[in-house]
Amino acid sequence: MSDTLQYAIGDDHIARITLDRPTACNAFDDVMIAELTACLAGLSQNSDLRALILSATGRHFCAGLDYQWLLRASSHDQHRNFEEALTLSRLMQLLDRFPVPTIARVQGPAFGMGLGLIACCDLVVAHQDAYFQLSEVRLGLVPAVTAPYIQSKIGVSGARRYFLTAEPIDCRRAHALGLIHEVAETEAELEQWVTRWLDAIVQNGPRAMLAAKRLVAAIEHRPIDDALLSDIAHRIAHLRARAEAQEGVAAHVAGRPPRWHEAD
């Protein structure tokens, strides 16, 4: 049992993690950090998993770090603060590198670390009333732990603005910045987008999707030089020789659904 999360894996091999501290606006404390880290680490070892959905209960998606926990941390020495920040960084990395497609279903506001969770997910749909904020500078801090993932989504220009001003970002602007992929007008539409993406994901080769995630990370900000050309050629050559790709191509030519479970 978890004090801060709900999680389950369905017969469809889809994992669902729900942040469940609604009375604290789903803000992170040390317990939630530990439980979400352990949950992601465990699920990442499940070779049958096809996708992960991250959602939340209550009005907020995630209000960032719990202020009471943050206040206690302010009395810690620099070494302990370093270790706690490193723990948070590893949690972000776990989600960013999760081996199957990840979907964030955002029903309400997300601040700080909550915005980092969203930026680490592959696909994001948010309710039109949701809004986002990087308010760390108002506390005399910076969004260091989440910055690599958020800046990758909104670019240097967006980071310069929102890291410095702590302005709220409404859902439409978040969509324009590339932070979220779709805006839903209703709760039902949130579910429709999640279902649409899951329907697409289960048609795809599991290893191919992992390779696609790694490809995105590998080519980001790299010059298109001989080293990159060699890298991507090696990647596709490796995949073409595998049973999954052979099954995918054969199924397409035969006009039948691929039998991914029969491929290695």
Q: pLDDT value at position 114?
A: 96
Report the sign of the C-alpha dihedral through residues 171, 174, 176, 178, in that order: negative
Q: pLDDT value at position 197?
A: 98
Q: pLDDT value at position 239?
A: 79
Contact 185, 128 (CB under 8 A): yes
Residues 179 and 251 in one domain: no
Please say if the pLDDT value at position 264 is more than 60: no
- The predicted model gives 3-26 an average pLDDT of 94
What is the reported pTM?
Answer: 0.92
HEC string of 95-108?
Answer: HHCCCCCEEEEECC
Residues 193 and 215 in one domain: no
Higher-confidence position of 175 and 139: 175
- The predicted model gives 144-157 an average pLDDT of 94
Domain of 47 in residue numbering reads as 5-201
- The predicted model gives 214-239 an average pLDDT of 83
Q: Nearest CA to 60 among 129, 124, 141?
A: 129
Residues 56 and 130 in one domain: yes
Span between the terminal Cα atoms of the chain, in Å: 34
187 burial (CB, 10 Å; 0-12 / 13-18 / 19+) is exposed
What is the domain count for the chain?
Answer: 2
pLDDT tens track for 31-48: 999 999 999 999 999 999
For position 248, which CATH number holds?
1.10.12
Residue 223 CA to residue 149 CA, distance in Å, equals: 20
Residues 136 and 54 in one domain: yes
- The predicted model gives 99-126 an average pLDDT of 97
pLDDT tens track for 185-198: 999 999 999 999 99
Please say if the pLDDT value at position 22 is more than 90: yes
Higher-confidence position of 193 and 264: 193
**Bridge-based pairing state of the strands 102-106 and 14-19:** unpaired
Q: pLDDT value at position 1?
A: 60
**Bridge-based pairing state of the strands 182-184 and 131-133:** unpaired
Report the sign of the C-alpha dihedral through residues 68, 128, 88, 136, in that order: negative
Collapse the DSSP code of 56 into the 3-class scheme (helix H, G, I; strand E, B; otherwise coil) and give the result: strand
Higher-confidence position of 257 and 151: 151
Strand partners, 65: 28
Residues 216 and 165 in one domain: no
Residues 197 and 210 in one domain: no
Residue 61 CA to residue 21 CA, distance in Å, equals: 10
Residues 223 and 179 in one domain: no
Residues 183 and 226 in one domain: no
Q: Nearest CA to 217 among 162, 157, 156, 148?
A: 148
- The predicted model gives 181-185 an average pLDDT of 97
Please say if the pLDDT value at position 263 is more than 80: no
Q: Which of 176, 201, 226 is the last residue of a domain?
A: 201
Assigned token pair, 37: 């880290």
Q: Which of 161, 181, 201 is the last residue of a domain?
A: 201
Residues 229 and 126 in one domain: no
Q: What is the mean pLDDT of the chain?
A: 91
Residues 186 and 244 in one domain: no
Q: Which of 184, 201, 218 is the last residue of a domain?
A: 201
For position 47, which CATH number holds?
3.90.226.10
**Bridge-based pairing state of the strands 123-127 and 169-170:** unpaired
Residues 153 and 69 in one domain: yes
Angle at 122 between CA 118 and CA 125, to 5 degrees: 60
- Rounded to the nearest 5°, which phi and psi values hold at 197? -70, -40
Residue 185 CA to residue 46 CA, distance in Å, equals: 34
Residues 64 and 149 in one domain: yes
